[in-house]
Structure 1
Amino acid sequence: MKEMILMTPGPTMVPEEVKKVAGAQPLHHRTEEFYELFSNLNKNLKEIFKTKNEVITLTSSGTGGMEAVIANLFSTGDKVLVASIGYFGERFYDIAKAYGLDAELQDFGWGNAVDPNVLEDKLRNGNYKALLVTHNETSTGVTNNVKEIAKIADRYGVAVIVDAVSSLGGIPLEMDEWGIDAVITCSQKCLMSPPGLSFVALSERAWKMAETSNLPKYYFNLKKAREGVLKPNPDTPATPAVSTIMAVAKATNMLLEFGLDNVYKRQATYGKRVREYVKSLGLELLPEEDIASDLITAIKVPEKYKASEIINHMKEKHGVLITGGQGPLKGKIIRIGHMGYVTEEMLTKTLEALKDAIKE
């Protein structure tokens, strides 16, 4: 069976070198070999997160990382603002409500970015403990200016929690320098690895928040996980997804050897190339150019076409898998992911497949 090219929001393509490691016999997680590997991974993650604080590894999807942050930093009734621009902003709101927080949803609309003036008005008058925001919204192909958002929150003493599940390691995010209190990401997006792990980093302020949290947590206990990371032989409280840890250790080595700045430049080039090609076909992008993501492109489906037919044509005839819209955008857009491990050949084949689908 011929391998499908995954040009989706995730899982994304995995390099051969990483697949080889992921398919090897897993290490036992209480051995010197694992401790050494895990130490190297932790070092790499701190460099990618751009933080001096420890990064916690959890065996879960990115959603598990989001839930862990809610469960560990807050108490029942804490007031938080969720700045939503799509499906995953709404998911953050749903998690906060599930844990009994006094969560308020500020919906900026699918296809838009956070409006800094509206956000400032909300924070100025709201007495919120924290702001929850998505960095790169894969449901709409929009990237928020998290650096500016964090500055606004800082003026009002509001902690900033960032869902960077689809962005970390692909576009710039400086956790410590920008004053972000919690960052969440996962293994299967820009980190070029199979699904199975989420990663969470907390600021000193966030760790202090964790000391007073009264919400239930056991498997997702970040304080307990931090104790494991800080050991001379670092480990995790329970058996982790060892094979995925081995894969991410390899993938992060590759990312850092290539250089994060080079990754950012490549992604900016890819994003621009896809957007220009889409427009050359007479198609319309969902977001405005200045907020469009360099990691995923959302394209409006013309009335005479069906999203499902375009997707199926690209899959069946060309072996390229893209995705459609979610929620209110279902059937109205198609989405091409170009994050993580993407080669020039993959990108060219994807664009040619799109052209052929539109032509057909």
Structure 2
Amino acid sequence: MDIKRNILLNPGPATTSDSVKFAQVVPDICPRENDFGTVMEFISLELTNLVASSGKCTTVLFGGSGTAAVESILSSVVDNGAILIINNGAYGKRMCEIAEIYKLNYIEFKSSPIDGIDLNELENKIRSYNINEKQYGITHVAVIHHETTTGILNDIKGVGKICRKYNIDMIVDAMSSFAGIPINMEEMNIKYLASSSNKCIQGMAGVSFVIANIEALEKTKSIKSRNLYLNLYKQYSYFKDNYQMRFTPPVQVLYALKQAIIEAKEETIEKRYKRYKSCCKILWDGLDRLKLKRLVKDENASMLLTSIIEPNISGYSFEELHDYLYERGFTIYPGKICSTNTFRIANIGEIYPEEIKNFIEILREYFHEIAKH
């Protein structure tokens, strides 16, 4: 059966292979059966192996969007100490909103949405707080790896070094970088990493997961539960004993995720990142030829998503541009930064250089059309 191919240039869900789509067509099965437990065991182990040693880390699966994984970590691992949250975009802000809802003792560290994190300022903030706080210091730092608000790539390795120096556990939202950019949790000093099934791993939407350092996770056992569904330790403990989620999982999506993992291993994360960067270079060259300006400087860019400053020309509107591209098989996303009008183009997922070349040509046709009027 032929499936119409749409190229999703939004930052997720990403374009998937037909084999991932078809992997969902399976016989009905009760997720409490051992056969399905084997599927989830495979998924948990292989997701861990992409970024860490399975002897030191483990993957905890949840049904839900990526925010479920982030909320699970924040609500489950912070006890009496403080958590510093680096906010340089919509998803750092969302972490702050979660911390506020759970009444966590959190410090918001605001950083530029388009420039790199000032690591000296960050360290000074941590040192100052720990000196002045009489009872509890900062026990956790939370940061977004790839902030898709703008396409900036935060220096988690640098943040991790600071966390190691002050014996702080680092939490990383790697929603839009996991399986797209090589990550080594031990080298980068990441204790908890959150991601989901529908970004660079190139699966279908519906599963989120936390990859956690087992030693750090075991220490959270005695923290009083703040919720039911998203309690990280209880989900981990139940899965460890039963190879099942505590609550009904999205069965078909997990079969698709298994296939996506197989394909990621075949390609390798290094080669996938190389493919993504090749697509990005074609995109950037095309944008330069069209005289469309990019928001983030090259040295701070992820090369997985590009924010483009909207052109101030007669006849242009984002809605019309979106519809023009959508009718021709390409989906783009509006901007998310308040200070500048932008639109965003992601080049993650099952996308190849030739398709980006076709996209640039259609983009050129759109601007040619409005110039005639």
User: Does the TM-score normalized on the shorter chain lie above 0.5?
Assistant: yes
Q: How do 1:234-245 and structure 2 match up within 5 A? A: 234-245=243-254
Query: Of the candidates 4, 16, 20, which is equivalent to residue 18 of structure 1?
Result: 20
Q: How do 1:28-47 and structure 2 match up within 5 A? A: 28-47=30-49
Given the two structures, how large is their TM-score scaled by the length of structure 2? 0.90
2 CA distance for matches of 1:226 and 1:72? 12
Counterpart of 2:319, as a letter, is S
> Hey, what does 2:367 align to over in structure 1?
358
Unaligned runs of 5+ in 2: 131-137
Encode CA deviations 1:330-358: one digit per residue, 9 max, x unaligned: 7x111111112212333222222222223
Query: Of the candidates 266, 284, 288, which is equivalent to residue 275 of structure 1?
Result: 284
DSSP 3-state at the match of 2:193: strand
Encode CA deviations 1:309-333: one digit per residue, 9 max, x unaligned: 32222123x2211001125157x11
- Answer whether contact 1:192 1:340 (CA < 8 A) is retained: yes
Q: CA deviation at 1:183?
A: 0.1
DSSP 3-state at the match of 1:161: strand
Flag the 1:188–1:329 CA change in 2: closer, same or farther, 3 A: farther
Encode CA deviations 1:190-210: one digit per residue, 9 max, x unaligned: 111111110101114531441
Counterpart of 1:311, as a letter, is H
> Hey, what does 1:171 align to over in structure 2?
181
Counterpart of 1:42, as a letter, is S
**Larger Rg: 1 or 2?**
2
- Answer whether contact 1:51 1:174 (CA < 8 A) is retained: no
- Answer whether contact 2:278 2:353 (CA < 8 A) is retained: no
RMSD: 1.9
Unaligned runs of 5+ in 1: none
The reply on whether 1:67 has 2:71 as its aligned counterpart is: yes
Q: How do 1:307-346 and structure 2 match up within 5 A? A: 307-316=318-327, 318-328=328-338, 332-346=341-355
Q: CA deviation at 1:115?
A: 1.8
The reply on whether 1:112 has 2:123 as its aligned counterpart is: no
Query: Of the candidates 125, 128, 132, which is equivalent to residue 125 of structure 1?
Result: 128
- Answer whether contact 1:54 1:229 (CA < 8 A) is retained: no
Flag the 1:89–1:224 CA change in 2: closer, same or farther, 3 A: same
The reply on whether 1:93 has 2:103 as its aligned counterpart is: no
- Answer whether contact 1:65 1:198 (CA < 8 A) is retained: yes
DSSP 3-state at the match of 1:211: coil
DSSP 3-state at the match of 1:184: strand
DSSP 3-state at the match of 1:284: coil
Q: CA deviation at 1:255?
A: 0.4
1 CA distance for matches of 2:118 and 2:90? 17
2 CA distance for matches of 1:200 and 1:329? 32
Q: Identity of aligned pairs, percent?
A: 28
Moved more, 37-46 or 160-169: 37-46
Counterpart of 2:308, as a letter, is I
Counterpart of 1:83, as a letter, is I
Moved more, 160-169 or 41-50: 41-50
Counterpart of 2:151, as a letter, is G
- Number of residues of Structure 1 aligned to a counterpart in Structure 2: 356
2 CA distance for matches of 1:213 and 1:277? 52
2 CA distance for matches of 1:214 and 1:21? 39
Counterpart of 1:199, as a letter, is F
- Answer whether contact 1:85 1:112 (CA < 8 A) is retained: no
Counterpart of 1:289, as a letter, is D
Q: CA deviation at 1:181?
A: 1.0
